[in-house]
Amino acid sequence: MTLLGLSNNVIVNILNNAFHNLPVLRTLLLDHNKITTFSILDSTFSQLQSLEILQLGYNALHAINGNWFQDMRSLLTLQMEGNLIARLQPDTFGFSNLKNLETLDLSGNLIAYIARDSFHSLPRLRRLDLSRNRLRSAPDVFSSLYWLSNLNLVLNQWNCTCELWELSSFLSSYQQMPGKELYNSRQLVCLSAANLAIQNVLNLTEANCMPPNENTTKLGIKDRISMQQYIQDISLAATLFFAGKMLGSL
């Protein structure tokens, strides 16, 4: 057997020896189930040393344990989209053996934090999808991924302050490189910003970024547009007021 499809079931628990005696299995589909982080043991996939594609999307995983993948040196594609993962730590993939992994899909999770060395153990990563998460800020965690050719960061909750400038600088350079694709860069929208003129992550520079300030009201795009309109209305009203006074004195 080279392909095992178990998608769209109600799988909650996976027994320790569930995938034993499948030495040539190359594709395992476990998406759209009810698998939790506690359902997967360190030994669950240990016999699947020929596995190339693992689909764990749309389950109830709230964290990733690198030990799950310690014997999966053949894995090329790992899909974990649509789960409940909130953080990527330096050791998230630290104990894995994913040196040949090319595609990692973490879209549609709850990721709000990425540590600087989160992807250090994935040297051959080519495609990374972190769209539709809750990232407000992130360090440059991608420049060490020399093989990375497709990166998706849209539909996050970017707070465009100086904390994000390092990442912005990398992304601006990345999209200019041949063979590199920053997916839909126009949608790297700032949900909030200290400098109201900044509306896109790529607009951030060392010169125009402003440090985060707890006393500074951070406004979303619609709020910034409303505020700009409000300022224009106040300016117009003031101009008409003084013009009226001048006419009245004539």
* CATH code, domain carrying 26: 3.80.10.10
Joined tokens for residue 228: 């700009």
Contact present, 147 and 171 (Cβ < 8 Å) = no
User: How high does pLDDT run on average in the chain?
Assistant: 87
- For residue 7, give its domain range: 3-249
Which parts of the chain are beta strand (E)?
3-5, 27-29, 53-55, 77-79, 87-88, 103-105, 113-114, 127-129, 150-152, 158-160, 181-182, 190-193
Contact present, 218 and 193 (Cβ < 8 Å) = yes
Beta strand 181-182 with 190-193 is unpaired
Check residue 33 and give its pLDDT: 98
pLDDT above 50 for 188:
yes
Residue-wise pLDDT tens digits, 100-144: 999 999 999 999 999 999 999 999 999 999 999 999 999 999 999
Provide mean pLDDT across the span 234-245: 44
Q: pLDDT band at 168, cuts 50/70/90?
A: very high
Total H helices, total E strands in the chain: 2, 12
Joined tokens for residue 219: 């406004």
Q: What span, in angstroms and rounded, lies between the C-alpha atoms of 85 and 112?
A: 9
Q: pLDDT band at 166, cuts 50/70/90?
A: very high
Backbone phi and psi for residue 78, each to the nearest 5 degrees, phi listed first: -125, 115
Q: How many domains does the chain contain in total?
A: 1
Joined tokens for residue 121: 């153990």
- For 151, counting Cβ atoms within 10 Å of its Cβ (0-12 exposed, 13-18 middle, 19+ buried), the class is buried
Paired with 192 in beta bridges are: 159
Q: What span, in angstroms and rounded, lies between the C-alpha atoms of 165 and 207?
A: 10
User: Pick the residue with more confidence: 235 or 27?
Assistant: 27
Contact present, 35 and 6 (Cβ < 8 Å) = no
What percentage of residues in the chain have a pLDDT greater than 70? 85
Secondary structure class of 233 (helix, strand, coil): helix
CA 47 to the chain's CA centroid: 30
Lowest mean pLDDT: which of 30-39, 76-85, 241-250? 241-250
Degrees (nearest 5) of the Cα angle 221, 227, 228? Answer: 90
